[in-house]
Amino acid sequence: MIRQIAAAFIFIGGTGSLHAAPLGLPPVPIPADNPQTPEKIALGDKLFHDQRISADGKVSCATCHEKSKAFTDHKPVSEGFKGLTGTRNAPTVINSAYMKTLFLDGREPDLEGQSKQPPVNPVEGGLPDHDAELAIIRNDPDYVTAFREVFGVDREHITMQEVSRAIASFERTIVAGDSPFDRYYYSGKKDAMDAAQVRGLKVFLEQGRCVSCHRIEQTQALFMDHRFHNIGVGFKRIRGKEAETAAAFLKSKHGGADIDHTVLTNRNMSEIGRFAVTENLTQVGAFKTPTLRNIEFTQPYMHDGSLETLEDVVDFYNNGGRVKDTDPVSAFLSGGIRPLDLSNGQKKDLVAFLRALTSPSVKAQVNSGGNTP
């Protein structure tokens, strides 16, 4: 399936020509210093699925980003080596090629930067450092051959740059559009969505206020805004302790601690969100807007995986960023979040619409357990 997507939508044979993007999506942005080639994509595919690149030999990228689960893991927070758990919900890799920052707090600027972190995170891959990761790769003659062919480097000169570029190239092939919504909205097929979904789109665009962050443009829709918002998720954990949590985080960061390690191993510090990266007081508890495409298969939801169903998510927004409408409101709440006063019918329609964002290719992967093209 993956190669099929690659063949259909991405650069072919390194000629540099761009093929049509899936319906509803813009062309995949490819960095000038990391052009797509079929060989590089295949190498990235192998690295992505290689469980040897972890402390116990059981964790790969695909452990938390599994094709049969729409490139998520269906767990509230991810499980790494020895069953250790992190603090955040694994976002889907599908369409991550369009993201302008990576990770839920945007701490890496691109896919190349992102894939370097998990193998050496103490609750994910668990490797002590990148040297250990490279040693595993250099000890596999097939990898040595592949890196020579793709990057022209010999065994000793394989670095994290080549490894991360190969993985990023593979991830840039994992794109999916052509959902019922796309066919309804961009191809004018009025029967592509059912009546409830059409009503749900209206809620999405109007009273639900969803579209302000989960954007739909005139010719394409990424359902994200590349920004960071505090929507009220998870703040209860540090409520009343924001100042001490932020101060303790900064003390640790300025003392040399790795952000990636800190936010994934300390549940309280995880909740300071984008602030961990920018140290901007206005970004405490702010997390990146995720895409909504294929959301039907990426449960549970929110940065901490705290909401199980799409119905829960809609209720959360309807309550103005609260699980229950009697819960306190976060003092740091984004100005875009407020009670929506949606009726039960509108809420059902909205959920129906969210299910219209599923790509047929993703649905086929999920239904076949990841084995059908």
Q: Which residues bind other proteins (CB under 8 A)?
A: 209, 212, 227, 242-243, 246-247, 250-251, 253-255, 279-282, 284, 329, 331-336, 338
Residue with smaller CB distance to other proteins, 10 or 246: 246
In three-state secondary structure terms, 56 is coil
Residue with smaller CB distance to other proteins, 282 or 367: 282
CA distance 43 to 269: 35
Rounded (10°) angle between helices 160-171 and 38-48? 100
Give long-range contacts, CB 8 A cutoff, 24+ apart: 217-222: 219/26, 219/186, 220/21, 220/24, 220/25, 220/26, 220/186, 221/24, 221/25, 221/181, 221/182, 221/185, 222/25, 222/26, 222/95, 222/98, 222/291, 222/293
| Shortest distance in whole angstroms from residue 279 CB to other proteins | 3
Residue with smaller CB distance to other proteins, 7 or 243: 243
Residue with smaller CB distance to other proteins, 11 or 249: 249
| Shortest distance in whole angstroms from residue 209 CB to other proteins | 7
| Shortest distance in whole angstroms from residue 342 CB to other proteins | 17
Residue with smaller CB distance to other proteins, 48 or 235: 235
Residue with tokens 């665009």: 205
Nearest to 297, CA basis, from 368, 343, 362: 362
| Shortest distance in whole angstroms from residue 310 CB to other proteins | 22
Nearest to 350, CA basis, from 318, 303, 308, 302: 318
| Shortest distance in whole angstroms from residue 320 CB to other proteins | 9
Under DSSP, the state recorded for 54 is S
Residue with smaller CB distance to other proteins, 71 or 228: 228
DSSP string, 193-250: S-HHHHHHHHHHHTTT-GGGTS---SS---S--S-EE--STTHHHHTT-HHHHHHHHH
| Shortest distance in whole angstroms from residue 178 CB to other proteins | 29
**Distance between alpha carbon 66 and the CA centroid of its chain, in Å?**
12
| Shortest distance in whole angstroms from residue 335 CB to other proteins | 3
Residue with smaller CB distance to other proteins, 90 or 286: 286
